[in-house]
Amino acid sequence: MLGQQNPQRNLFEAQTWPHPIPSDSFYARMAAVNDVLFRDTDLAEMYCPDNGRPSLPPALLSGVLLLQFYDDVSDAEAVERTRFDLRWKVALNLRLDYDGFDRSSLSNFRKRLLQHQRERYAFDRLIATARLAGILPDKLTLLTDTTWAKGAGAVQDTYTLIRKSIRKLLRQMGYAVPQKRRGLAPQIQRLVETYLDQDRKADLDWADPQARATQLKVLVEDAEATLELAIPQSDDPDVRSTSWLLTKVLGDDIAPDDNGAPQIAEGTAPDRNISVTDPEMRHGRKSKAQRFDGFKVAVTTEQTSELIVDIADLPAPGGDGHELIPTLERVEAHTGSTVERMIGDGAYGSGDNRADCANFPGHPVDLVAPLSEPQDAAVAKSAFSLDLPNRTATCPQRQTTLGQAGQDDRGREILRFTFARAACQACPLFQRCVHSRTHGRTVQTHAYETYLQAARVRQRTEEFKTLYRLRSAIERKQAELVAHGLRGTRYLGRRKRQLQRLWHAAAVNLKRLFKLAEILGMDLRAQLSLLSEPRVGWPAVR
């Protein structure tokens, strides 16, 4: 049943008494808007309307959750701060003698938010406030980039992955229960004793290659036996999921040697599992030099206000640019504004993204993103003059050839231009330009070559350079999120991780709104109060 805060002020509230919390601090400013920042009735649908014990007020729990992510503390520490931290008591309008609540209330509250699809509540409420106040304009210029975040589990080696997966699968099949251990076959009994009754690596000399190979063979054989044992219970979704995980670990990390014995496979599988605790963690790269383990977080801000208008949890592998169009769609859906321009780094500047932005539903989006400059510009593709309507290509030495129609790996039409080898051999650039042993230089167009050609011309202009310099602001916003704990993933599962990203962003946005209110002379409390009435034609604050 929905519990609500008592609007009656109390003599023992922390902010009623003189206190040393600076008036321009985040906590004091939050106190000034606390009674309108969140409303209990906004989340009434999450509670039974007429039965049960009254809950903790959801507005209070929303405030605690916001402060928890602002200060980057655990559930237990958050509860302790409601009891002993004067800053939190002031920010939340709590009594000086407030005795807190059980920390499980926070996890239950997050669970309710997810069950009722209200994880965007705080984030969207602050975005709606900014729209109402005119801080977010009707037409937006966005800045976007990704940063990395750790996973909630430990990164594990192949031996540990196999051992932990066997243990997890045996537990899910019920072998941790004493009654199920009665009358087991010797092989199954050995598996249970080895992987359930203990949880540690084998006691061997790990510097000895032969000892490691012997142990790997034992692990692989035990894994295959456990998978076979799980077949009769494959209807159980947990058993099926862990069986798939163990099978994938074997497929990614193990390869037979010349004698058929298992060995660690060379290289790294593109989608390799790295943790049994958090099976969605992956290896990732932000650049050739920067590798990380965990996830990516895509952050998008509005250029003039510097408010975060979108944040998304992403898998670690793959390029950043794949999330561009979904980001544009989410921003327009949740702000009610039109995205006029998107500014991102080179990862977003693919031909596909440029075509999708040019043909974005309802209106084009100006994509400002650079194309990489070739190391040897004299013989790069950009040095060739491509006449697409006439299907001709002219090289830097004025040799011209006709193109042949073909298809790329996605079945889209492209052109391939192959120059005569004899003409190429007579060219002074032959050694730098041609790498084939049998043909002359080959140049292949992209399915959206016209967009790429236009982009190369544009990025040499002063207009492009001026716009692209704005992108640096997104890196400052990412650094601010990281300072509030963005990289420390707390939860397992994509929706829970996304909830964490959204509430981190909401905390940072509230801090920014306080600053903007000071700069603009705006009464933020009044703007939040106006959200009590729905605005016709505006996106719902959900």
Where does 329-428 show beta strands of DSSP type E?
338-343, 366-368, 385-387, 392-394, 400-407, 413-418
8 Å CB contact between 178 and 378: no
- The predicted model scores a pTM of 0.91
User: pLDDT tens digit string along 353-381?
Assistant: 999 999 999 999 999 999 988 888 888 98
State the pLDDT confidence band at 198, using cuts at 50, 70 and 90: confident
Which has the closest alpha carbon to 351: 444, 473, 287?
A: 444
State the pLDDT confidence band at 16, using cuts at 50, 70 and 90: low
Q: If you average pLDDT over residues 383-412, what whole number do you get?
A: 91
User: pLDDT tens digit string along 129-167?
Assistant: 999 999 999 999 999 999 999 999 999 999 999 999 999
Per DSSP, what are the bridge partners of residue 263?
255
State the pLDDT confidence band at 533, using cuts at 50, 70 and 90: very low
Q: Is the pLDDT of residue 10 over 90?
A: no
Can you give 131-154 as a three-state secondary structure string?
A: HHCCCCCCEEEEEEEEEEEECCCC
8 Å CB contact between 317 and 273: no
Distance (Å, whole) CA 160 – CA 196: 14
What angle is formed at CA 141 by the lines to CA 139 and CA 145, rounded to 5 degrees?
145
8 Å CB contact between 172 and 239: yes
Distances (CA, A) of 476 to 136, 143, 279, 498: 19, 11, 31, 21
Residue 237 identity (one-letter amino acid): P
User: pLDDT tens digit string along 455-508?
Assistant: 999 999 999 999 999 999 999 999 999 999 999 999 999 999 999 999 999 999
Q: Is the pLDDT of residue 540 over 50?
A: no
User: pLDDT tens digit string along 277-324?
Assistant: 999 999 998 887 889 999 999 999 999 999 999 999 999 998 889 999
Contacts of 525 (CB under 8 A, 6+ apart): 32, 33, 36
Average pLDDT, the chain: 91
Report the pLDDT value the prediction gives residue 285, as an integer from 0 to 100.
87
Which has the closest alpha carbon to 250: 237, 265, 266?
A: 265
8 Å CB contact between 343 and 303: yes
Of all residues in the chain, the percent with pLDDT exceeding 90 is 77
Q: Is the pLDDT of residue 535 over 70?
A: no
Q: What share of the chain is helix, strand, coil (3-state, %, to 5)?
A: 45, 15, 40
Q: Is the pLDDT of residue 8 over 80?
A: no
Q: Is the pLDDT of residue 111 over 50?
A: yes
State the pLDDT confidence band at 258, using cuts at 50, 70 and 90: confident
Total Cβ atoms within 10 A of residue 179? 6
Q: Is the pLDDT of residue 534 over 50?
A: no
Total Cβ atoms within 10 A of residue 286? 16
Report the pLDDT value the prediction gives residue 3, as an integer from 0 to 100.
73
